[in-house]
Chains A and B, each alone.
Chain A
Amino acid sequence: MEMPTFAETLEAHKAMVFSIAWHVLRDRSAAEELAQDVFLQLHCSWRSMKSREHIVFWLRKVATHRALDQVRKRNNRPETSLEETGEPTVLERMQDSLLSSYLERMIASLPDRQRAAIVLRYQEDMAPDEIARVLDMNVSTVKTLITRGLDLLRSKTKYRLGVQSERGDRHDGV
């Protein structure tokens, strides 16, 4: 398959890179800056890109690692820890958008690596072995991170948002 141009790649993958940065950093301007830097780095490394798949893999990897680095550098653990996150005032089943926004806040409160693994799993729909390659980890470590992340998220949302707890079948998706 023919290689795309840099402009085509930018247009095709800007949402992916921005969203990875956004979900890890939870800061719109920082996410935009990071996404810009990732594409500038891609522009510099453009000659070493071998295929479309290679470009996507590279973008995911660099975006995730840069976002994690930035979180560590700023020591930007979210202002609200999982325990501190307030319960929504409406405990009955919430509208999808409200639930999504609540879940996003919950994801932001996860530890860095768990958050990155969850973002790649559920935003990018990547398999654990692909996530392992992006994060330079063992597949088993990635599976553990995702399972623990899901457990943490479930423990907070269980019974509160009317979301059914599926502890029994939680490994299905991992």
Chain B
Amino acid sequence: MTAFEDALRKAMTRREPPAGFTARVLAKTEDRGEKAKNWISRIFSWRLAPVLAVVLLLSAGITYQRHERQVRGERAKQELLVALRIAGSKLRDVRIHVQQVEQ
């Protein structure tokens, strides 16, 4: 190490932060912790109850609508199957009749 580097090292010795630094940082960390806790408790506070009720009603409504659509779809499917079955039996009757006429 050179004398110049030695002088640099001396010039750059660590300095203590201003008095009360540790206390201020610890207070801020506690403050942040409190704020986080408050935020969570605010979420569950009664003030948010109407909002939660509306959200609950909306989601229930959406679920009911989905269920209704599904039921209607099922019914339509069943009706289509019956219609196809009837059409199939009619076609079979026609084919038998045509065969009889040809003979």
Mark A residues whose CB is within 8 Å of B. 6-7, 10-11, 14-16, 18-19, 22-23, 28, 31-32, 35-36, 39-40, 43, 96, 99-101, 103-104, 107, 118-119, 122-123, 125, 150, 153-154, 157, 163-166, 169-170, 172-173
Contact = CB atoms under 8 A, between A and B. Distances in A.
A172 B1 contact: yes
Contact of B4 (A31, A39, A119, A166): A166
A122 B18 contact: no
Given A99-B7, A104-B12, A11 B1 contact: no
Contact of B2 (A11, A123, A157, A170): A170
A39 B1 contact: no
Interface of B: 1-5, 7-18, 21-22, 24-26, 28-29, 32
Interface SS majority for chain A: helix
Contact of A173 (B1, B13, B14, B16): B1
